[in-house]
A = this chain, B = another copy of it.
Amino acid sequence: MSEGVEWAVHSCLNLTWLPSGQAVPAAKLAAFYGLPAAYLNKQLQALARAGIVTSTSGPRGGFQLARSPETITLLDIVVAIEGADAAFRCEQLLKEGPGADPTVDYRQSCLVSQAMSRADLAWRKELAGQTLAGLKAQVEQRYPATPGNTVNRFTALRA
């Protein structure tokens, strides 16, 4: 899986602690973890295309969450970065096998493909069950200093 997923999730989480309506430039989100700014920008663009964040140009511009953290799941973020395709893609080998029917879509009927799809579905279900708001709550309960630390660092980067 692409490394950008991790960056995107942590960056979105950081955005949840900032006052609503405030945009943060990619450069600051990147500096927060010492990441390459231009490349993180690319990932944020993907999040913007997926409707997870909104982007604003010019001074005082940047990125902010497009909707409430309760409505953003980890799956949303992963799909935005990695694409919607399943990890296992059936190439329909059975089309070349004995007793093959050219009219059949083996992505549906192949039992191997079905088993892989079930696993993929279980994975997606687990990710879809975690919202950004839920994650935020967990962090705040376990590490109460995090929200304050985060805001402080962002203001410090303002220099």
- Seen from chain A, the residues whose Cβ lies within 8 Å of a Cβ on chain B are 1, 3, 5-7, 9-10, 13, 32-35, 74, 87-91, 93-94, 96-99, 111-112, 115-116, 118-120, 122-127, 130, 135, 138-139, 142-143, 145-146, 149-150, 152-153
Contacts and interface: CB of A to CB of B under 8 A. Distances in A.
A52 B158 CA distance: 57
A147 B115 CA distance: 20
A77 to B, nearest CB: 10
The 7 closest A-B pairs by CB, nearest first: A98-B149, A119-B126, A123-B123, A1-B87, A122-B122, A98-B153, A122-B126
Contacts of A115: 74, 127, 130, 135
A94 B13 CA distance: 12
B122 A6 contact: no
A94 B122 CA distance: 28
Nearest to A118: B126
Given A91-B6, A122-B123, A111 B138 contact: yes
Contacts of A9: 112
B87 A112 contact: no
Contacts of A3: 91
A116 B129 CA distance: 11
11 contacts: A9-B112, A13-B112, A33-B97, A74-B115, A97-B149, A98-B153, A99-B143, A111-B139, A115-B127, A119-B124, A119-B126
